Structure formats: C-alpha cells, structure tokens
Structure 1
Amino acid sequence: MPSDLPLPVLPAVTHGPSEFDATKARKRRTVILRRFFRHRLAVASLAVFLLVVAFGFLGPLFWTVAVDDTRSPGYLPPSPAHPLGTIQAGNDMLAQLIRGTRLSVQIAVVVAVGSTVVGVVLGALAGYLRGFVDGAISRFTDLMLIIPQIAVAAILVRALDGSWYMVAVILAAFGWMQVARITRGETMSLAQREFVEAARAAGAGTRWIIFRHLVPNMVGSITVNATLAVATAVLSETALSFIGLGVQSPDTSLGLIISENYSQITLRPWLFWGPFVVIVLLSLAVNFIGDGLRDAFDPRQTKVRA
C-alpha cells in the first residue's frame, strides 16, 4: 500500500462565538445566583423588599377603599372597616399607606437608575480619557458636591409642580456624584490592565472599551451603589416631604404621610408608625440586598457571608 497517499482532512468542529459567549454568560449568572442565595440575610431582605413592593403595587387589588374617599369621620381608631383608622380628613389610612408606598418606591427606583447611569458614564469617561475631559468632569463633580443639595432640591421642587416624577428627576440630578467618583477611580485602575491594552491594540474604540470591557468589570461596585441610592432616595424624599417641600397633594408619599400625621404620635400612634416602619424596612432591605450582591459579584470572594 503506498505510503504517500494524502490523508483525508476532516472538518474542524467549532462553536460559534455567540454560542461560546452565551455559555460563559449562563455559567457566570449561575455562579452569581448561587452565591447570592447562600447569603441568608440578603435573601431575607429581598423577600421583605418584594413584600413591600407587592404591598404598594398589588395592594389596591385587595384593598379597594378609594384613597380619596372622605365619607368617614376623621381620626377613627383602627377597626375592621379601617385597619389603620382614618386621617383627619376622613381618608382611609391603609389606602393612603398603599399609595404612598407605591410612589415612594417609584421615586427611589427612578433616582437610583438615573443617578447610577449618569455617575457611571461620567466617571468612566473621566477615568479612561483622562486629561482635559477628566479635569472638566472632576471640577464639575466637585462643584455639585459643595452645593447644599437638599436646600436646592427643595427650592426646585417648590418652583416646579411638585409631582412625584419631578421630585425623582431633581433628586437624581443631585445624586450621581459619589457614583462618578467611585467609578472614575476603578476605571483608572482597570484601564492599566492587560485586557484593556489588548482591546486597544486590536483597534477597539473608546465606547467599546468602556461599555464592553470596563463597565462589566465594575458591576459589583455599580450594583452596591445603585442599591445604596435606593435607600438614600427614600430618605431624601422623606426629608423633603416632611418639611412640605417634596411630593405635594393630591399625590402622596411615605414622607408626606408622616408630615401630615407626626403630631398624632402620642394620641394616635398608628398613623405615624405605619409609614415609619415601611421606610425603615425599605432602607434596611435594600442595604442588605446590596451586601449580598456585592459578595455575589466579587470574583475574589471565596466565602459567602451569612
């Protein structure tokens, strides 16, 4: 048999880049979820947060008393007809609390998303481009930090219509600076890593490097800061509404409910402690969720804290 016959060439079996990337993404999501669900306090906090959100958004399906119904006498004590009594105008307190919770959660989510997006984009641009861009963004950030944020936000809300979405936009406009500073520092560190140099050598543009390589490597810190922004937004909105410069009637919020009923803390404590407990639960829950997400996203984490 001749030995110089050419050997048959078999086609190579390869996986497309999209299939390989999808497999890696699924594996990473699985690891992250496993780490998060091993963090018992974070899981319990997630359950509390979901219950509060369900109370605000699904409550009207089960408690059908109209929030603007004033046919009942004012300051009724808790009863089967009004589990949390009525406020001075005769409105059902439970209906008020459901609506206030829903609007406070909406404000917190809008503020968290808006401030995080603005902070990440500006911080990443400053940390990666350096030079003039870094100087301009850093000086603008310093300027925003020295402005008395609550005072200016109160003036702007009062000058505008005081609706919940306007309060959310104004709070987001004054809540991105810390995120920008943290993102800038992490970007400056990551920009010196080998994978960024390789992407730059391969001809990748600035936008691709920032949003495809740098931002995904900062997901842990971004997530933690976003959850902290939720808690900060809840407390900031409460402070503004408590002094009468936040959400205005006919809208309502947890802070506005406390503002209208804090004088009844001794005579009718249920009018005060209801919204107060919801605010505390929201703030604590999102902070503990942030702890769990930070541990889940951190690739250097070797032991999940309970």
Structure 2
Amino acid sequence: MPPALERFMRHRAALASVVLLAFISLACFVGPLLLTNTPIDNDWGAMSVAPTLQGGHWFGTDELGRDLLARTLVGGRVSLEVGLLGTFVSALVGVIYGATSGFLGGRVDAVLMRIVDMMYAIPYMLIAILMVTLFGRAFSLVVLTISAFSWLDMARVVRGQTLSLRSREFVDAARAIGVRPAAIIAQHIVPNLAGVVAIYATITVPNIILTESVLSFLGLGVQEPMTSWGVLIQDGAQKLEAMPWLLLCPAVLLCTTLYCVNFVGDGLRDALDPKER
C-alpha cells in the first residue's frame, strides 16, 4: 500500500466521510431511478404530509403532494454536479493560469496577478444577478457563473507553489537541455502540483455547492422543474412553521455533504502535505 494511502486510511474521520459521501452520491444519482415517485408527480391524496413510513413518502410531501425524498435526491444530484463541474473548471483554469504566472515570473507574473486582484474587486453577486437576468437560469449558466470567479483562489495557490518549484534541480536540468517553457510546465511543474490541487479541490467543492445553494435561495439558481438543495431550502424556509420537514431534510443532507468533503480534505492534507506529516 502506498504511504500516502496508508496515512489517509489512518484518518478515521476522512475514511468514514468517504463512505458516507459514496452513499449520498449513489443515492442521489441512482436512487431516483428506483423510486416509484418522481419529483414532479402529484399525490393529491397526500398533500403536506409529514415524513412517514406509510404511503411511500419517507420524507413527507409538499403542498402540491410532491414526494420530498424524490425531490431531495434529484436536487442533491444537481448540487453535486454543480460542485464537481465547477471544481473541475476551477482546477483546470486555476492550474494553467497560476502555473504559467509563477513559472514565467517577472512582468508576466505581475500583470497576471493584477488581473486576479481586479477580479477579486468585482462584486461577485452583482455579476451573478446580471448574468442570470440577461441569459436566464439554465443549469449550464449557473455552472458558468460560479466558475467565472471560483478559479481565482486556485490560481493564487498554484502560483505560490510554482514559484518554489521553478528553482528546483529538475527544472534547471530541463532548461539546460532546451525543453520549452510550455513543456516544462506541463511535464514537470503541473505533475508536482497534484497533491496541492487535490487538497484545495476538496475545499472548492463545498464552497461551490454552498454558493449554488445561496444563489438558489435568492432565486438565482436552477429553474423549475429542475431543483437543487438550495431551491428546496428556500422553499422550506418559507413554510418553516407549517411544514418544517421541507427545510430539515435537504438542509441535513447539504450540511452532511459539506462536512464530509471537509473531512476528506483534512485527510488528504495529512496524507499528501509533507509539512503535516
């Protein structure tokens, strides 16, 4: 067993979180296919029913008789897809941008980092509202809106690591034999950033899921009939006194997912970061 994997296996909270995340992901992606109720089916004889094992509505129903379990699982699938796709875009853009800036250095690094600083100064929520108002609330647009700013932190982290890697002996050897800068970045710098990127990606996933939930809570997220945990939480918050289960069920799953991803990040940090060994 590789030493890094062995160290990760010793992190009990991270290991338990991986199992729980796998179960939640499997339930969200496969569960809706196994349920007899769909998120849009109306059970007119069971409207606003509290969670019960009888009648097939384990999480209860909303005021339209729609099964909350089916809506929560489908909403979880959307939230997880947004989190994973957004993190992939964030890592891809952030690694390329940060590695290029850190490796080239000098004026190029200064210009690229000033661009990042200027983007930090742009009110993110204002841009999100503007994009949703102009182009609608399609799933792809929500992912694009979140990804447009989520790569900034990744770029800074990667740039800092690249600054320390570019003075290493293997980089000097590659320069000496005439390897082009682009090839050095792709073949020598980026592979040595895998641990840092993996650790930071586990921080980015819950941040993006939470951002999507906030946008959906404000009515700027995905559009009906598509739903997400943020949409369900917004709907449940409006009916908290009459039907608290509408808020409780998706909120518990959202919080559990966020905590599990953070614990996995802690485990990866202990396993891959030499400073933490």
Q: Same fold (TM over 0.5)?
A: yes
Corresponding residue number in structure 1 for 2:88: 113
CA contact (8 A) 2:269 2:276 kept: no
Pair 1:74-2:47 in alignment: yes
Corresponding residue number in structure 2 for 1:222: 197
Pair 1:258-2:258 in alignment: no
Aligned pairs for 1:147-162 within 5 A? 147-162=122-137
Pair 1:45-2:48 in alignment: no
| In 1: Cα distance, 2:36 partner to 2:148 partner | 36
Superposed CA offset, 1:25-80 (max 9, x none): xx8xx222222112111111111111111110011233221211113243122232
Q: Tell me, which stretches of 5 or more residues in structure 2 are unaligned? A: none
Count of matched residue pairs: 274
Corresponding residue number in structure 1 for 2:253: 278
SS of the residue corresponding to residue 179 of structure 2 reads: coil
2:114 pairs, out of 136, 139, 157, with 139
| In 2: Cα distance, 1:96 partner to 1:174 partner | 29
SS of the residue corresponding to residue 225 of structure 2 reads: coil
2:159 pairs, out of 184, 191, 196, with 184
Moved more, 253-262 or 124-133: 124-133
1:300 positional shift:
5.2
Superposed CA offset, 1:256-283 (max 9, x none): 0111121222332211111101111111
Aligned pairs for 1:236-247 within 5 A? 236-247=211-222
One-letter amino acid of the structure 2 residue matched with residue 75 of structure 1: S
The CA RMSD over aligned residues, in Å, is 1.5
Misfit runs of 4+, over 6 Å: none
1:153 positional shift:
1.4
Pair 1:88-2:88 in alignment: no
CA contact (8 A) 2:99 2:159 kept: yes
Corresponding residue number in structure 2 for 1:196: 171
Corresponding residue number in structure 2 for 1:32: 4
Q: Tell me the TM-score normalised to structure 1 length.
A: 0.85
1:220 positional shift:
2.0
Higher Cα radius of gyration: 1
CA contact (8 A) 2:101 2:109 kept: yes
Corresponding residue number in structure 2 for 1:62: 34
One-letter amino acid of the structure 1 residue matched with residue 139 of structure 2: W
Moved more, 124-133 or 260-269: 260-269
| In 1: Cα distance, 2:157 partner to 2:199 partner | 11
| In 2: Cα distance, 1:281 partner to 1:207 partner | 41
Superposed CA offset, 1:201-224 (max 9, x none): 122221221122112222222111
One-letter amino acid of the structure 2 residue matched with residue 281 of structure 1: T
1:301 positional shift:
4.9
Q: Tell me, which stretches of 5 or more residues in structure 1 are unaligned? A: 1-26
Corresponding residue number in structure 2 for 1:8: none
| In 2: Cα distance, 1:196 partner to 1:124 partner | 13
SS of the residue corresponding to residue 176 of structure 1 reads: helix
Corresponding residue number in structure 1 for 2:147: 172
SS of the residue corresponding to residue 18 of structure 2 reads: helix
1:119 positional shift:
0.7
CA contact (8 A) 1:104 1:253 kept: yes
| In 1: Cα distance, 2:256 partner to 2:116 partner | 31
Q: What percentage of residue pairs aligned between the two structures are identical?
A: 39
SS of the residue corresponding to residue 174 of structure 1 reads: helix
Q: Tell me the TM-score normalised to structure 2 length.
A: 0.94
One-letter amino acid of the structure 2 residue matched with residue 60 of structure 1: P
